[in-house]
A and B are shown apart, each in its own frame.
Chain A
Amino acid sequence: MKDNCICVLMVCCVCNTPLHGLDFFVFLCFSDVNSNSVAQKIYVEVNNTVPCVRLLNATHQIGCQSSISGDTGVIHVLESEADLEWPLTKGPNPPYMILLESHLFTRSIMMKIKKESSRIAGVTVVVPNTSPSEFSPHTTCPNENTGVYSDTYGPHLAHCNTTVWNPLGNGLSYEEFDFPVFSLKEDKQCYYDHNRVVNGSAPQYPLCAMQLFSHMFAVTDTATCMRRNDVINFSINPEMVCDPLGDFNVWGSIRPYNRSQLGHRDNESVVMAAARLDSRAFFWDVSTGAEGSISGFVTLLAAAHALRDVTQVAPPTHNILFAFFQGEAFDYIGSSRMVYDMQNGKFVIDLDNVHSLLEIGQVKRLVDNFQSSATGANFSLVEPGVSQPLPPSSLQRFLRAQNIPGIVLADHRAAFNNKYYESYYDNADNLNLRYPPNMTAEEQLEFLTDTAMALTEVATVVARALYKQAGGDGTQVDNIKADSKTVTQMLFGFLVQANNSWFQALIPPELKDMLSDPPDFYVGVASSSPAKAKPLTRLVQFLLANLTGTATNLTQDQCQKPDDLPDESVQMYSYLWVQGTVPHNGTEKGPFCVRASVRLSQALSPAFDLGEYASRNYSTWTESRWKFIKARIFLVASRDLEMLTLGVGVAVLFSSLLVTYFISTKADVLFSSAREPASAAY
């Protein structure tokens, strides 16, 4: 909270002790002395707030907004849906700040609140400890306008006419609220002390209130905010109002490509394997996507690892390219960008070079089938009929551009099995990631969970399929086996604790603080250089490099500038200096140089490069900027007391004016007895 500072003469700060010695103040310029400033008596800052922010696309704005000076409301804890009567109609002290338990955070309650939003200052949702039985704030038909099905192509399959993919979706993430919605770890002590409604009668002042600040700069839609960005750039203080969403895709291949040769390659036919990296939730930056995306890309990473050895020994006919797309939750940002680059000769291959594409979607339920069989043998893969459309997947963007044979591997025939699609609850529990009790983090890292073993099976199947599809030697197929230890370590790192010893070993020393917990998978705003890519993206990059690349003997200097050496080429490979593992006999960590054909490619929607901010073909999602986001709790006084105090002040003012006038006009008379001796003495 701001200090009470008055800068007088050369003195920096004054901190007021509570009326102790009004004559006497301490000049302090730092806060480590215990100063009871008035602001600390009034406000309690709430830490660890998670807001809902505003996102914009070509046609709409979604998310939440507060007014520029914050929204203040009297706290009301909602006990049930019927209790909404009090803040919406009956309560005498509007506006109200509604505090919801997570099981009450439903569409019907939020829509009711939205309708009567003149009496509502905001909504706070208490961070839950356990997941509800089902909850998905996403729409029922994800990415329906940017897939391959449209009114001109398969209209009976478009817009979920045949299959509703996410039937549990309530669409809250895509609604617009003109009040702030925060997620807080709330304790309700203040409410119980001051605001309880007893027998239907209004509680007495002073009342407990909360103020939420989450003012968003951007309005209307992407075209408007990008236009305002351009206008503002000409002013003296350029300040952007919104930023496009995006990040970087991670891709790697079995045989390297020269990155300076872009566009079509003659006689090159590549089998692509794809997975998505990102996910989202209603609140900003707290998404995990365990079933939605992690299960998919961990499987693909394990498959890539499994293929490393066999492709050295018996290389397949076609090359295999692994692609991990970012931003797929927002109208396929990553995959649409890669397709665009391929179409325009800005990628190392183009669409004609793509032989086929295998995509790994949500594969958790394949896991369940596995767990039911005791011996852990193969599971069965079933192909639904041709009347079944493709689920929302990156393959759809490739098909939109060109007819490419493709497969999406998923655990659902029609609707998703995921009950928490794109929500905060799609976490480790959703994947049934269980560890025995009383284990340290390092022990948990090494422990082989059931989930890991099952995903390993899936990875093995995927690897073998890719190898066969790429025309590899049939006799080698049985040697391809995914490593369950790698899978379990990856699952632990992405879902439980990213800052563990295995992940630390894979990343460069200068990035060792990048691993923060809990890990989050929201795509975020695009950055211009790969060095500023999201930590998750960089982690996947280093993982893929370590799992598919080779360790070399290069020194650190040689790793920075490998072109000086005769056999190495920065055009073909990327050279990464990583920390290395601690050997088991406890000696120093050994950093080394990894050579891998793994690269980052930009995942920014082509709409922004083309300037088509109202595009219907590409993703146009942007995120608004804001100044600060915070919440604080305090007591508010009744209006009557405020008016009384004002009245008293005005009365004192006028009476003192009158008295002064009286004294000044009658001064000669009033003080006359002193004048005679005074004028004589001097």
Chain B
Amino acid sequence: MRVLSCSDADMYEQCSVSPFAIGFSTVASPPRRKDSIKVMHPPTSNTTTFNWAFFWLCSLLLSSLVWFITVQISNKDSSSQQKGLLIFGVVLSVLLQETFRFGYYKLLKKANEGLLMLSSEETMPISIQQLAYVSGLGFGFMSGAFSVVNILADSVGPGTIGIHGDSQHYFLSSAFMTMAIILLHMFWGVVFFDACEKQLWWSLAVVVSSHLLVSCLTFQNPQYVGSLVPTYIIMFLMGLWAFVCAGGSLRNLKFCLTCKDKDFLLAHHRPR
């Protein structure tokens, strides 16, 4: 499971891989009683990621279908109408994605309860935060892939954007935007699932509205500063929120950074 965050695409197809999930297999191993369940984890997490990617694709397909139909029946010559349709399409897509996310949450909960009944464990084989993280990751991966592969394909070649007067920083900006969106999806996933667990509907509303905000910010392009800077601010805020939802705190962070984590673990009789 890898998240592709590609910056630079002029002549080199360099994708900086930020493998937040390379360490996932170590993260996803809380205390076990039976070895068989330990073996089960990587497939579950893998499956979850790709299942979620598929769900995201379905939501995209549905929203594209709606947009496509509306474009066909609309007046193709009127540019204001087309722009309006685009905005409508964006909003619809965002709402559909969040709906699918919620639907998937429900599905996962049911699946996990079933899994729990089958096994003789008392605790869930995989915690809901981990599920949220993996779901967000799959979502982000798919979204990132769709964002960037097209642009990458055309960036292979000797030319760069600009002959018609567009900004030269198109590739760089789209790469950074993609990275932000992928991370955002991850954070949204964590916060969303957490909010659903704890029935905090206002958190849900904030997630959906921030998603809408970020998508609509891209209408600022080609003023890339106008779209990138707010997006990154929102990303950092969401990141902090997700960190807190996942169980982090300033205290824990201080322990880690000052290398007192071992002492912390020993004190709480917790094996690493």
Within 8 A of A (CB), among B4-52: 5-8, 10-12, 14-24, 26-27, 30
B162→A635 contact, CB < 8 A: yes
CB-CB contacts below 8 Å: B119-166 with A: 122-124, 127-129, 143, 146-147, 149-151, 153-155, 157-164, 166
Does the CB pair B90–A206 fall under 8 Å? no
B60 lies within 8 A of chain A by Cβ: yes
B143 and A23 contacting across the interface, CB-CB below 8 Å: yes
| Cross-interface CB contact of A24 among B23, B63, B179, cutoff 8 Å | B63
Quick check: B158 and A634 within 8 Å, CB to CB? Answer: yes
User: Of A36-44, A174-182, A376-384, A622-630, which stretch is located at the interface?
Assistant: A36-44
Whether the Cβ atoms of B63 and A6 lie closer than 8 Å is no
Residue interface mask A631-662, B partner, CB < 8 A = 1:
01111110001100110111111001101111
Closest to B121 in A: A682
Central interface residue in A9, A637, A667, by most chain B CB within 10 Å = A667
- Residues in chain A near residue B5, CB distance under 8 A: 652, 656
A3 to chain B, nearest CB (A): 10
Min CB distance A597 to B, Å, is: 58
B81 within 8 A of A: no
Nearest CB of chain B from residue A529's CB, rounded to whole Å: 41
Q: How far is the CA of A24 from the CA of B157 in the complex (A)?
A: 26
Residues of A within 8 A of B154 (CB): 4, 37-39, 42
Question: B270 near A668 (CB under 8 angstroms)?
Answer: yes
Chain B residues with CB under 8 Å of A72's CB are 158
Contact of B57 with A646 in the complex, beta carbons under 8 Å: no
Across the interface, which residues of B come within 8 angstroms of A27, CB to CB? 61, 64-65, 68
Q: A24-B90, A673-B247 are in contact. Are A9 and B159 (CB under 8 A)?
A: no
Contacts of A645 in B (CB 8 A): 7-8, 10, 171-172
User: Contact: A674 with B246, CB < 8 Å?
Assistant: yes
Q: Chain A residues with Cβ under 8 A from B18's Cβ? A: 652-653, 656-657, 659-660
Q: Does A669 contact B (CB under 8 A)?
A: yes
Q: Is the CB of B147 within 8 A of A22?
A: yes
One of B99-107, B199-207, B216-224 contacting the partner? B216-224
- Which A199-221 residues have a C-beta within 8 angstroms of B? 206, 208-209, 211
Does A672 make an interface contact (CB < 8 A)? yes
Give the number of residues in A that approach B within 8 Å (Cβ atoms).
72
Verify A19–B177 contact, CB threshold 8 A.
yes
Contact between B23 and A665, CB atoms less than 8 A apart? yes
**B256 and A666: CB pair below 8 A?**
yes
Residue of B nearest to A44 (CB): B163
Would you call A24 and B10 a contact (CB within 8 A)?
A: no
Q: Smallest Cβ distance from A32 to chain B, in angstroms?
A: 9
A209 touches B11 (CB 8 A): no
Contact status A23-B215, CB under 8 Å:
yes
B191 interface hit (Cβ, 8 Å): no
Interface residues of B in 56-82 (CB under 8 A from A): 57, 60-61, 63-65, 67-68, 71, 76
Give Cα A208 to B163, complex, Å: 8
With A664-B24, A664-B27 already in contact, the answer to whether A673 and B221 are too (CB < 8 A) is: no
Does B269 sit within 8 A of A, measured CB to CB?
no
Whole-angstrom distance between the Cβ of A38 and the nearest chain B Cβ = 4
A20:B219 contact, CB within 8 angstroms: yes
Q: Contacts of A9 on B, CB cut-off 8 Å?
A: 57, 61
Q: How far is the CB of B53 from chain A (nearest CB, A)?
A: 11
- How far does the Cβ of B51 sit from chain A's closest Cβ, in whole Å? 15
Within 8 Å CB of A42, what residues of B?
A: 154, 157, 159-161, 163
B252 close to A (CB within 8 Å): yes
Contact B61 A209 (CB under 8 A): no
CB-CB under 8 A from A678, the residues of chain B are: 127-129, 247
**Which chain B residues lie closer than 8 Å to A682 at the CB level?**
116, 122-124
Contact with B along A351-365 (1 / 0, CB 8 A): 000000000000000
**Per a CB cutoff under 8 Å, which of A11, A39, A637, A665 touches B168?**
A637
Interface string of A1-34 (1 = CB under 8 A from B): 0001010110100101111111111111000011
Which residue from chain A places its CB closest to the CB of B159 in the assembled complex? A634
Contact B255 A646 (CB under 8 A): no
Which residues of A are found within 8 Å of B149, using beta-carbon distances?
A: 6
Q: Is the CB of A21 within 8 A of B218?
A: yes
CA distance A320 to B157 in the complex (A): 62
Task: Return the contact of B23 from the options A22, A41, A664, A674 (Cβ within 8 A).
Answer: A664
Please tell me if the beta carbons of A653 and B129 are within 8 angstroms of each other in the complex: no
- Is A675 interfacial (CB 8 A cutoff)? yes
CB-based A-B contact count at 8 angstroms: 248
* Bound form: Cα–Cα A679–B32 in Å: 12
Quick check: is A663 within 8 A (CB to CB) of the other chain?
A: yes
Q: How many residues of B contact A (CB 8 A)?
A: 96
B189 at the interface (CB under 8 A from A): no
Most buried by B among A17, A34, A649, A650: A649
Is B94's CB within 8 Å of the partner chain A?
Answer: yes
* Given known A23-B90, A652-B18, A678-B128, contact A636–B179 (CB-CB < 8 A): no
Which residues of chain B have C-beta atoms less than 8 A from A153's C-beta? none
A190 within 8 Å of B by Cβ?
A: yes
User: Which of these, B123, B128, B178, B253, contacts A22 with CB under 8 Å?
Assistant: B178
Given contacts A20-B218, A25-B146, contact A656 B20 (CB under 8 A): yes
Query: Knowing A24-B90, A41-B164, A649-B7 touch, does A636 contact B249 (C-beta < 8 A)?
Result: no
- Known A-B contacts A666-B256, A669-B264, A671-B247; the reply to A38 vs B151 at CB < 8 A is yes
Tell whether, in the assembled complex, residue B162 and residue A664 are in contact, meaning their CB atoms are under 8 Å apart.
Answer: no
Known: A23-B97, A41-B161, A682-B124. Is A6-B150 also a contact (CB below 8 A)? Answer: yes
Residue pair A43, B86 in contact (C-beta under 8 Å): no
The answer on a CB contact under 8 Å between B12 and A642 is yes
Q: Select one of A23, A635, A672, A674 contacting B160, CB under 8 A.
A: A635
Find chain A residues with CB under 8 A from B230 CB.
none
Give the residue name and chain of the A residue nearest to B83 (CB): A20
Q: Known: A22-B178, A190-B163, A665-B26. Contact between A670 and B63, CB under 8 A? A: no
Q: Considering the complex, which residues of chain A in the window 257-310 have a beta carbon less than 8 Å from any beta carbon of chain B?
A: none
B160 and A652 contacting across the interface, CB-CB below 8 Å: no
Are the CB atoms of A635 and B150 closer together than 8 Å? no
Asked whether, in the complex, the Cβ of B7 is within 8 Å of the Cβ of A20, the reply is: no
Interchain nearest-CB distance for A448 vs B (Å): 51
Q: CA–CA, A161 to B24, complex, Å?
A: 87
Question: Given A20-B86, A27-B68, A673-B248, do A656 and B116 touch, yes or no (CB 8 Å)?
Answer: no
Taking A637-B160, A652-B7 as contacts, is the C-beta distance between A679 and B93 under 8 angstroms? Answer: no
How many angstroms between the C-alpha atoms of A28 and B219 in the bound complex? 21
> For residue B268, which residues in chain A have a CB less than 8 angstroms away from its CB?
672
Contact check, B219 vs A21: say whether CB atoms are below 8 A apart: yes
Contacts of B143 in A (CB 8 A): 22-23
Question: Counting CB contacts under 8 A, is B237 at the interface?
Answer: no
Interchain CB contact (< 8 A) of A669 among B8, B221, B252:
B252
Nearest CB in chain A to that of B255: its residue: A669
Bound form: Cα–Cα A516–B119 in Å: 80
B219 touches A22 (CB 8 A): no
A614 to B64, CA, bound (A): 64
B235 at the interface (CB under 8 A from A): no
> B residues within 8 A CB of A28?
68
Q: Is B210 an interface position by the 8 A CB rule?
A: no
CA distance A666 to B26 in the complex (A): 10
When distances are taken between beta carbons in the complex, the residues of chain B under 8 Å from A632 are 159
A-B contact pairs, 12 of them (CB 8 A): A4-B153, A6-B146, A27-B61, A37-B154, A42-B154, A42-B160, A43-B163, A645-B10, A669-B256, A670-B256, A671-B247, A672-B252
Q: A23-B93, A656-B19 are in contact. List 19 more A-B contacts (CB 8 A).
A: A6-B146, A19-B170, A20-B86, A20-B219, A22-B143, A22-B147, A22-B218, A24-B67, A25-B64, A33-B71, A38-B161, A39-B154, A206-B162, A637-B168, A649-B8, A652-B18, A672-B252, A672-B270, A674-B247
CB-CB nearest 10 A-B residue pairs? A674-B247, A664-B23, A634-B159, A656-B18, A645-B8, A653-B16, A671-B247, A21-B90, A38-B154, A19-B221
